[in-house]
Structure 1
C-alpha cells in the first residue's frame, strides 16, 4: 500500500514471491531501507524515484519480468537473473569497483563495448543468455576472456564464417549413414575427414538394399552451399549403446540435431526407444536443442501407412512433452507452496514437504524447474519422410536444413563476428601439414604468431576453439595443458576403438603383424577376452590397438591421460614414482565390466554388516532420475572417483571400495518399471560416535557426482538422505530426507529428528546433516 511510506525507520523489507506486479511510489520514501527482497514477483519496471534509496545495501530482483536493466539501481547492481533483460546500459562499464554481476537467464545478446574493464568482478553469472557478441563460449569463461576478446576485436579485422554443427542421431539401422551420404552427394560433395570404417559410397537410387551401417562415431565436413558460404561439420552418432560412454561429449549447444527414425520398422509401441528416449537424452544434455525429425525408408511404406506412422510419432512427441511439462509445473507449485510457509514451520515437522530446506535452496530449486520449463526441445516440424530414391525428398530435406541454418532467430550464434586472427588460427591448426595427433603448446604458439597472436593473447583464442568444439585444450589440467588436441577426427577414431565390443575386430588389430607366433597369438586372445569381460588392458596392448594413431610412448601417455580425463578408464596400478622393475601399467575401462556385482571377497567385513546392526549406523545418499539416467554416467563416475578410493572392486552396477579404512559402496539400480526411477546411491557405515568418518568417506564422492551432473543442465533429478533407522530395520521403502540439507549447516540446538515412517523412532541429526556443508548443493545448476 502507498501508506508504507510512513514506516520511516524500516531497514529490512522482504517481499519475495508475493505476486507484486508494481511497486508503490511511497516505497521510494523509505530512506532508512538497507535490505529489500523483491525476487519471485511479476515486476516489469521500478518506480521513477527508486534511486533515492541511498542506504540500500542489499537488493534482489531475481525472477521477475524486467525487460530493461533498471537505471536507478546501476550504482548497486543486484541479482537480476531470470528476467527478460535484452541489453545492458553502456554506462555499466564505468563501475570499476563492481565485484558481483548476476545476469543469467535473461535475453542479453550483446555486451557493451569495454565490458572487459570490469576486472574486479569475481562473482559472474551469465549462462542461459543468447549471447552473440562476445560469443557465449567466451562469456562463460569470465571477464578476463571477455576483455581479451574485445581487445582482439578492436585491433583485428573482423571475420564472419557461418559454420554449423549438424548431428545425426537415432537407433542402430535407423538409416543415418545412408541419409547422410544421400544429402552430401546431392550436391556432389563428400569430404570425409574422419571415420573408423572407410566404406565405399553406395550409389544414389539403391536405398532398398540393406546397407551395413558405419561403425562408431563419424565426423566430416560438408560444404552445403559454397555461394552462401554455408558449411556444416557433420557428426553421425552410433546407434549402438556400446558408444554411450562417449557420445554425450558430442552433444553441445548451438548445433542442429536430426533425429532419424526407420519408418519401415517403426511401431507405435516402440515410440520411446525409437524417439522419446533420444529427446529425453538430448534435452537433458542440451536444453532448448533444435531438433528436426526425419523418417527414413519411406519408400518401403504404403502411402496410408506412412501417413499414420508420421502422425503417430508427432502425436506421441506432443504427449511426452505435455506430460513432462505438467510434471515440472506440479513441482514448481509444490516449491511455491513450501515457500509460502514460514521456515520455522517447515522445520517443525519431518512430515512437511521440503523439511528443513532453506528459502535460498527452495528458490534455487524453483529457478531450476522454471529453467527446465522454459528450455524445452525445439522440434521444428512433423516427421519429414525421406527416401534416397525420391530426389524431391532429398532436395526438400537439404533445403530445410539450409533454411534452418540461416535463420537468425534459431541460430543467432552463426551470425556473430569473430576476430580475424582467431579464424586464421583455426585454419592453421587444420592445415594438411598439421595432421599429427596433437600439437605441443609451443607448436600452437608458433601458429598463433603466424595468425598475429602473441602468446598472452593465444590463450583466449584456444579457449574459444575448445569451448566451441573445434579442438581440445584443457588449460586447467596439469599435464594436458601443455598440448593441443586439434585433430578431432583421429581422436574420434581412437575413442571408437574403445567402444568396439567385437572380439574379431579387436583381434584383427592386434594380429596385424604377420610375424606373430602361435603362443603370442594365444596371449593376445586372452587379453581381448579379459578386456571384454572385465575391462582390463595393459598399456602395451593399448598401444598395439591404437596403431597407427600412436607412434611414440609420449603419444600413448597423452592419450591415456586424455581417456582418463574423459572418464573412459583409470590406471589400476599407477605408481607414486616410476616403477623400478618395469612392471606393466594396467588400465580399467568400467563400461566393459560384465559382472553385475563385484567379487564377494572384495567386501571385507561387508557380509557381517547385519551382525553389527546394533552398533553400526548406515549412511546412504541416493540420487533419483525420474526421466532418464544419463547414458554412460555410472562408468564415467567410477573413473572420476578413483583418486578418492583404494582397494576397489568393480561390478557392472556396483563398486566396493575404501576411503582410508572406511568402506564405501556405490550402487546403480536401473528402473524396475515404466513408473520407477533409476537410482544411484553412495553409502558407508560407522558407529554413531565415529559417523564423521563415514561422512568424510562419502562427501568427496557426493561432490564428484555433483560436478559431473553439472554437464547435464537440462536433467531433472532428486537427491535424498535415507533414514538410517529405516535402513537398519531393513525397510524396503526407507524414509528420505531432502538432499538440500547436505549443503546446509546443522541447526543449532537440534540433536534428533523424528522418522515419519515410525513416529517412535528418532534419528540423530549427525545421520542427516554432514559435519560441514557440501561445496555444491545437489540439484543446483
Structure 2
C-alpha cells in the first residue's frame, strides 16, 4: 500500500511488488507524488513517468533496465535518482541537461562503458556514484562545479582527468579497483589530497616507470628463498635450511628499466596469519613447488599448489601467477619432471574451471528463483567475481644450480610483466620529485645520515629532505612518503598513533621485529631466554616455564616475554639506542609500538580476566560513553594469539548447548571462508565486548547478561554462525538489544570482507523447528548495517513468517524488526 505523509503530497512505496510496468494508481495521482520507491521490481521501461511532474526522489534500483529510461528527462523537479544495480550499457545525450535540480545520482553496478558528453550540465549535482561499471573515461564529468562526492571504484580507468581535481568543491573521491597508471593506484589510495598534490607536481613530460611487486609464495622448503636471491644476484645462490626465510624478506631489484620489489614469504603455516597484511592486488606471484617431494595425488596438490591458488583467488583474484617447479636437480630424470609438470597444470586448469562453473551455477540459481529481482545484490556480486580472472601462466621447471636456468627464468619474468594485456597498470606516470625523494632517502642511508637500522623520526627525515627540496612543504613530502610506503620502499603506519612518528626506511627491520613473535619456532626461542635476560625484567625461570605452558595451552604470550624477544632481535640488528628500544619494546606501564602494530593487523589482542556474568552490568552501546560496573582486570601483561588455539573446550563449557529458539544467523561465504578470517573477526569483536572465551573455531562473548556465540563451519558449505541464547530473550526489548549486538558483529564481518576481493556473501536465518532444513533468505542485510538509525529497518510487515515446510515463527526471532512494524 502507498504510504501517505498526511498532506496532499505523497510518498509512494511500490518496492518489491514484482512490477513489470508502472501501476496505473501511481500515474493517476500525477503531480501529487513527491517520492516514489520502485526498487526490487522487474521494470524494463517506465513509460508515462513524466506525468509525475513534481517528483523529487525516484528509486529504480535493482530492476531490469538495459537502456537508460529517457522519460526521466521530463522530471524537471527531480533531486535524487537511484538507478543502480541494473544492466544499463549506455546513456543517451540530452537527458541530464533537463535535470537541472538533480543533486544525487547513483548509477553504480551497471554495464556503462561511457558517459554522455553533456553530463556536466547537471550543475547542482553533488553526489555521483559510478562504481562497478566498465568506464574508461571520466572527461564528461569535468565542469561539475558543485560535485562533492565521486565514486568510480572497480571500472576500467587507466587515467584520471587532472581538470576534475581542480574542482574545489570535491571532498571525497574513491577509485580503487581500476588499472590506473596516471595517477597510480598507490597514489589514489591516499585519497583526494594525494591526487590533487600528484597533479600539482606532475610535469608535462613526466617520466614513465615500470614497477611490479613480485611475491614469492609456496610451502615450507619449496625453494622460494633460493629463487628470490638467485634472481636478485643474477646467479645461483644456494640457501641452507638454517638460513631459510622467517617471516618475510624484502629486496629491490632493478633490471633493464623495470623495478622489482621482491617479497619472499615464509612457507610455514604459523606465518599465514600475517600474509594478508602484505599481499596486495595487481601483484606478480611466483609460486614455488618442490618437484622432488611432490606426489601426483590430490593431497600433495592441495598442500603445495591448491591452497595457494585458492587463497589468491580470494585475496587478489586479478593477480598473475607463475608456477615454478624447483629442486629439479633432485628429481630422478626428465620424465619425472615432465609428468609432475603435466599433473600440476591439469589440476590447476580443472580447479580454475570448477571455480568459474560454481559461480555461474550459483548465479543461474538466483536468476531462476521466482522473485529473482530480490536477489539482484547476490547476482551482481557473483557477476563481479566472474569478471576477475586469476591468470596462471605456463609452468616453468628450473634447476637453480645452473646459471643458464636463472637467466632463462629472469627473461621469462621480464617478458611477462611487460605484457600490457597481462599487467595493464605496470607502466606508471610519476612526477620527477617522487623519484628524487626516493633516491635522496637511499643516499642518506648510504652516507650514514640515517642509522643502519633505518628507523627514523619523521620530523627529522622531513628536515633532511626539505634541505634538498626547499620548494616542497611538509604536506607534499608526507604524501610522497605515503606513496613510497604503499609500494614497499619504506614503511610508515601513520594511522597507528604509537607509530605515527616512526619511519622504517628499511622495511626489513620491521619485518624482523614482526617475526620475533609470529614464528614457527616460538617455543624454542622462549627456551633460549637466558637468566640474565630474565633478571633484566625482574622475572624468574619458573615464570619463563609458565610463559611456555601458557603459550602451548592457551595461545597467550606474556608481554614480558615479548619485550625480551624483541629487545634481543633489536640488539642482533645493532640497535643500541635505549630510547628507541623502549619505544618499540614497551614497558610495564606502556605498550610497545610493535605490539600496537600486531593488534592493528588483527594478529592478537590483550587478554582479560573473565568474570561470571553480571545481570546488573551496564549495557554497552557503540559510539556512546560507557562506564563498567566493575573495572576490567587485565591479565599480567599478556596477549592472546587465537590462530594458535587447538580446541574449543573452554567455549563449549561456557556455552553449554544450542537451542533451536536461539537467535541464529548464518553468513555463507562463496567460495569459502578465507584462511585466518574467523580469528581476525573474533579479535575485532572481542576488542569491543568483554568478557569472552575463544577457541579454535568458536568464540563466546557477552554483553550485559546476554551470551553470543560465533562459530566457523566448513562442512559442505562454508559459513559463520552467530547465535544469542534464547533463555536471555524474555521481552521484545531484549530481542532488539540482542539484534543490536549481532549488528555490530556483522558490521565488523562485512568490513573485514572488503579485504578479500574474491568473496561473495549471503545471509540466512534457519528455520527454528527441529530437523527442518529450510531457511529464510535475508537479502537486505547490508541495508540494515548501513542504517545508522537501526530502528527504521523492517524485513517485512508480517508478524510471523512461515518456512516452505509450514513452520511458523515470530518475525523478530528471524530478522531484526522494530516492535511497531505492523502498525
Distance of aligned partners of 1:600 and 1:23 in 2 relative to their CA distance in 1, 3 Å threshold:
closer
Distance of aligned partners of 1:52 and 1:6 in 2 relative to their CA distance in 1, 3 Å threshold:
farther
- Look up the match of 2:390: 377
1:539-565 CA distances to partner (integer Å, 9 max, x unpaired)?
222111112345533222111111111
Distance of aligned partners of 1:85 and 1:514 in 2 relative to their CA distance in 1, 3 Å threshold:
closer
Distance of aligned partners of 1:175 and 1:112 in 2 relative to their CA distance in 1, 3 Å threshold:
same
Which of 437, 443, 450 is 2:460 aligned to? 443
- Report whether the alignment pairs 1:687 with 2:729: yes
CA contact 1:36–1:59 (8 Å) conserved in 2:
yes
CA contact 2:794–2:818 (8 Å) conserved in 1:
yes
Q: 2:419, 2:562 → 1: CA distance?
A: 45
Counterpart of 1:382 in 2: which secondary structure? strand
Which of 251, 261, 266 is 1:221 aligned to? 251
- Look up the match of 1:9: 51
- Look up the match of 2:185: 136
- Look up the match of 2:783: 743
Residue 159 of structure 1 and its aligned partner are, at CA, apart by 5.5
Distance of aligned partners of 1:733 and 1:18 in 2 relative to their CA distance in 1, 3 Å threshold:
closer
1:340-370 CA distances to partner (integer Å, 9 max, x unpaired)?
x6xxxx5xxxxxx7xxxx85xx444333222
CA contact 2:49–2:71 (8 Å) conserved in 1:
no
Counterpart of 2:564 in 1: which secondary structure? helix
Q: TM-score with structure 1 length normalisation?
A: 0.81
- Report whether the alignment pairs 1:202 with 2:250: no
- Look up the match of 2:688: 644
Counterpart of 2:261 in 1: which secondary structure? strand
- Look up the match of 1:83: 133
CA contact 2:208–2:427 (8 Å) conserved in 1:
yes
Counterpart of 1:383 in 2: which secondary structure? strand
- Report whether the alignment pairs 1:696 with 2:748: no
- Report whether the alignment pairs 1:761 with 2:808: yes
- Look up the match of 2:417: 405
Residue 682 of structure 1 and its aligned partner are, at CA, apart by 5.0
- Look up the match of 1:151: 200
Distance of aligned partners of 1:643 and 1:739 in 2 relative to their CA distance in 1, 3 Å threshold:
farther
Consecutive unaligned residues of structure 1, counting only runs of 5 or more, are 189-200, 204-209, 347-352, 773-781
- Relative contact order (C-alpha < 8 Å, sep 6+): which is higher? 1
Q: 1:492, 1:386 → 2: CA distance?
A: 29
CA contact 2:531–2:541 (8 Å) conserved in 1:
no
- Report whether the alignment pairs 1:396 with 2:408: yes
Q: 2:481, 2:671 → 1: CA distance?
A: 36
Structure 1 residues 224-623: aligned runs within 5 Å: 224-225=254-255, 228-264=256-292, 265-270=294-299, 271-299=301-329, 300-337=331-368, 346=371, 362-379=375-392, 381-429=393-441, 431-432=444-445, 433-436=450-453, 438-450=455-467, 452=469, 453-502=472-521, 505-507=524-526, 509-511=528-530, 513=532, 520-550=540-570, 551=578, 552-556=581-585, 557-573=592-608, 584-598=636-650, 603=654, 606-607=655-656, 617-623=661-667
- Report whether the alignment pairs 1:112 with 2:161: yes
Residue 149 of structure 1 and its aligned partner are, at CA, apart by 1.9
CA contact 1:424–1:451 (8 Å) conserved in 2:
no
Distance of aligned partners of 1:260 and 1:682 in 2 relative to their CA distance in 1, 3 Å threshold:
farther
Residue 122 of structure 1 and its aligned partner are, at CA, apart by 4.9
Q: 1:222, 1:721 → 2: CA distance?
A: 50
Which of 718, 728, 745 is 1:677 aligned to? 718
CA contact 1:429–1:447 (8 Å) conserved in 2:
no
CA contact 1:506–1:528 (8 Å) conserved in 2:
no
1:484-537 CA distances to partner (integer Å, 9 max, x unpaired)?
344421221222222324356313541284897999444323312322321222
Residue 761 of structure 1 and its aligned partner are, at CA, apart by 2.3
Q: 1:174, 1:74 → 2: CA distance?
A: 56
- How many residue pairs were aligned? 711
- Look up the match of 2:234: 186
Residue 246 of structure 1 and its aligned partner are, at CA, apart by 0.3
Counterpart of 1:254 in 2: which secondary structure? coil
Q: 1:219, 1:658 → 2: CA distance?
A: 41
Counterpart of 1:148 in 2: which secondary structure? helix
Consecutive unaligned residues of structure 2, counting only runs of 5 or more, are 1-20, 22-44, 571-577, 586-591, 611-626, 785-792
Q: 2:656, 2:61 → 1: CA distance?
A: 51
Q: TM-score with structure 2 length normalisation?
A: 0.77
Residue 751 of structure 1 and its aligned partner are, at CA, apart by 1.8
Greater Cα shift, 33-42 or 95-104: 33-42
Counterpart of 2:708 in 1: which secondary structure? strand
